[in-house]
Amino acid sequence: MIHSTFAATAATAAAPSSLLGRWSWHPNPIFSHRRFHLPISRPLVLPCVALEISVQSGGAKGETEKESKLWGGRFEEKVNELVERFTESISFEAEELWMHDIRGSKAHANMLAAQGLMTEGDRDKIIEGLGVIKKKIESGKFVWRKDREDVHMNIEAALTDMIGEPAKKLHTARSRNDQVVTDLRLWCRDAVDRILTRIKQLQVQLVKLALRNDGLIIPGYTHLQRAQPVLLQHLLLSYVEQLERDAGRLTNCKERLNFSPLGACALAGTGLPIDRFMTSQELGFTAPLRNSIDAVSDRDFILELLAANSITAVHLSRLGEEWVLWASEEFGFAIPSDSVSTGSSIMPQKKNPDPMELVRGKSARVVGDLMSLLILCKGLPSAYNRDLQEDKEPLFDSVKTITQMLEVTSVFAANITFNHERIHTSLPAGYLDATTLADYLVKKGMPFRTSHEVVGRAVALCVAKKCQLSDLTLDDLCGINSIFEKDVYDFLGVDNAVNKFTSYGSTGSAEVQKQLQFWCSKLEITSSE
């Protein structure tokens, strides 16, 4: 490693000498290095001052000489070090993309040899060299150099240092434009599989949680107002259904992204006799992309993945909101275990469901990653533009965040119980059986709009008498409408109300059992688990 220093003195010369006596140093979001703050009452940030930037140059070119760029043939000047720092991407992509880059290069070398564009001997040296680089990266001995810009140039330059001339043939009929998007498609394909695994794990935990709470009736809410009684199992399975749609979107996304851009080169393809179908097959793609311009410029597959992640994040956020509310004293329905709770630095009594609060909060981050990429892509001209380097950080962040959200929600679901007694004592409030009473009148032949009005009058009577619908006498009910008979009490109370739900997919006990059986079978869960 060597440290390069340069001075930008124009602004320094223009700055009053009295302001340059003492400095404090802070991270600079532009340079990723340092910012000067002056010791005065209001901070003054100068546009450019004398500064020192440390650059890890490394390599075999000596202590002071910088390595020539692999693309530097037509350039007479060295790249400005600030520009070099601003344009590098190795700092955030190396860990994510190196494995896919090596895999793509091996497939490309095999194809070039098969097409007579390099000898088998050169191909073997390249494959062996890439294997050595892979082991160095895995062991942490590989040196990533920012002056080599990105993961592709780092690996290719290291390969050239290792085996010499044969490595220079590897980039035949390939541009970084098609190389990077090949890496990204391979990475996204693997990312989808990882997320799908986490989704299934959460579905399993939610179904198990439902099985542990058989028959528990809770208030169902609309507008956050009490509406109708539902089984807790029914509510939990509603989130399982949402996650299943999330999984479906990701599966469909994977189908559309699984096409190979390799061989599209910069944008126009190549006149060399390559076989794009061979590399596509070796890398496990469905087929090569038909249009080379589209192949290098398309980022729809990332947008689609981030959109799918965003919808999943919204689902998790809503679940998080529900459990946070239910863990409050005002509800008291849910009791997270100590292992998934945190305390307060000042209030000794506090027990906070922080993981689900952060799930709710991090959903904004995942949605923000999608917004960043949408705005990035909206005004780009056709084919590849360097702006697209900015697609990686939102992509990596979205996948990392949604994966963590799914994992911690699974752990929370495995460590939450429900306060049956508190829930049961809360059920009488809210006239949850009112709609079931309206259905009773419909079964007696009354039009629903009329039954709605009649039950509304019954509720008003309960409010006046400070009682529940089931507490009204038959005389009370017949005083509202003579249609009521003794069998009305079979429809009143939350237990009777739940048992009267019979439509497909409803909260009735029989229907919920069918839903549970379906999910236990699909997710391979036994009732004893």
Query: Confidence band (pLDDT; 50, 70, 90) for 113?
Result: very high
Place of tokens 């007694």: 421
Stronger pLDDT, 72 or 178, i.e. the higher one: 178
Q: What is the pLDDT of residue 79?
A: 78
Q: What is the pLDDT of residue 24?
A: 40
**What's the whole-number mean pLDDT along residues 455-466?**
96
Q: What is the pLDDT of residue 384?
A: 87
| pLDDT tens per residue, range 370-391 | 999 999 999 999 898 888 888 9
Which of 156, 37, 52, 146 is closest to 90 using CA atoms? 146
CA atoms within a 13 Å half-sphere pointing along the CA-CB vector of 271: 0
Q: What is the pLDDT of residue 72?
A: 59
Query: Confidence band (pLDDT; 50, 70, 90) for 82?
Result: confident
The two tokens of residue 183 are: 């890496």
Q: What is the pLDDT of residue 402?
A: 98
Q: What is the pLDDT of residue 405?
A: 98
Contact partners, residue 452, CB within 8 Å, separation at least 6: 438
CA atoms of 39 and 19, how far apart (whole Å) = 8
**What's the whole-number mean pLDDT along residues 199-228?**
96
Q: Which of 37-41, 301-305, 316-320, 475-479 is least confident?
A: 37-41
CA atoms of 238 and 71, how far apart (whole Å) = 55
Examine the residue annotation and report whether 344 is marked as an active-site residue of this protein. Answer: yes
Examine the residue annotation and report whether 223 is marked as an active-site residue of this protein. Answer: yes
Which of the following CATH numbers is that of domain 85-172: 1.10.275.10, 3.40.50.1000, 3.40.50.150, 1.10.645.10?
Answer: 1.10.275.10
**What's the whole-number mean pLDDT along residues 144-170?**
94
Query: Confidence band (pLDDT; 50, 70, 90) for 361?
Result: very high
Query: Confidence band (pLDDT; 50, 70, 90) for 53?
Result: very low
Which of the following CATH numbers is that of domain 428-523: 3.20.20.70, 2.60.40.1220, 1.10.40.30, 3.30.465.10?
Answer: 1.10.40.30
**What's the whole-number mean pLDDT along residues 221-235?**
96
Helix ranges restricted to H, 212-268: 232-257
**What's the whole-number mean pLDDT along residues 13-26?**
39
Q: Residue 321, exposed/middle/buried by CB under 10 A (0-12, 13-18, 19+)? A: middle
Q: Phi and psi (nearest 5°) for 467?
A: -140, 180
Residue 470 has pLDDT above 80, yes or no: yes
CA atoms of 401 and 366, how far apart (whole Å) = 7
The catalytically annotated residue of 139, 223, 339, 503 is 223
Residue type, 36: F
The two tokens of residue 484 are: 């009521």
Domain boundaries defined on the chain: 85-172, 177-425, 428-523
Q: Which of 51-55, 89-93, 100-104, 142-146 is least confident?
A: 51-55
**What's the whole-number mean pLDDT along residues 448-459?**
97
Q: What is the pLDDT of residue 65?
A: 55
Residue 64 has pLDDT above 90, yes or no: no
Tell me if 85-172 shares its fold with 177-425: no
Q: What is the pLDDT of residue 81?
A: 83
Residue 527 DSSP class: T
User: Of how many residues is the chain composed?
Assistant: 529
Q: What is the pLDDT of residue 528?
A: 59
Stronger pLDDT, 4 or 76, i.e. the higher one: 76
The catalytically annotated residue of 24, 344, 382, 527 is 344
**What's the whole-number mean pLDDT along residues 178-201?**
97
CA atoms of 172 and 110, how far apart (whole Å) = 12
Query: Confidence band (pLDDT; 50, 70, 90) for 310?
Result: very high
Q: What is the pLDDT of residue 520?
A: 97
Neighbours of 384 (CB within 10 A): 22
Cα separation values, 24 from 3, 10, 34, 359, Å: 21, 20, 9, 37
Q: Which of 88-92, 305-309, 377-381, 458-462 is least confident?
A: 88-92
Query: Confidence band (pLDDT; 50, 70, 90) for 207?
Result: very high
CA atoms of 288 and 252, how far apart (whole Å) = 18
Q: What is the pLDDT of residue 526?
A: 84
Residue 41 has pLDDT above 60, yes or no: no
Q: Which of 26-35, 436-445, 451-460 is least confident?
A: 26-35
Helix (H, G, I), strand (E, B) or coil at 33: coil
Average pLDDT score, the chain: 88
Neighbours of 431 (CB within 10 A): 19
Stronger pLDDT, 76 or 391, i.e. the higher one: 391
Q: What is the pLDDT of residue 50?
A: 34
Stronger pLDDT, 76 or 449, i.e. the higher one: 449
Class of domain 177-425: mainly alpha
Q: What is the pLDDT of residue 10?
A: 39
Q: Phi and psi (nearest 5°) for 463?
A: -60, -45
Residue 92 has pLDDT above 80, yes or no: yes
Partnered with residue 416 across adjacent β-strands are 336
CA angle 160, 164, 167 (to 5 degrees): 55
Residue 177 has pLDDT above 90, yes or no: yes
Contact partners, residue 295, CB within 8 Å, separation at least 6: 178, 181, 261, 264, 288, 289
Q: What percent of the chain has pLDDT over 90?
A: 78
**What's the whole-number mean pLDDT along residues 423-450?**
95
Q: What is the pLDDT of residue 386?
A: 87
Q: What percent of the chain has pLDDT over 70?
A: 85
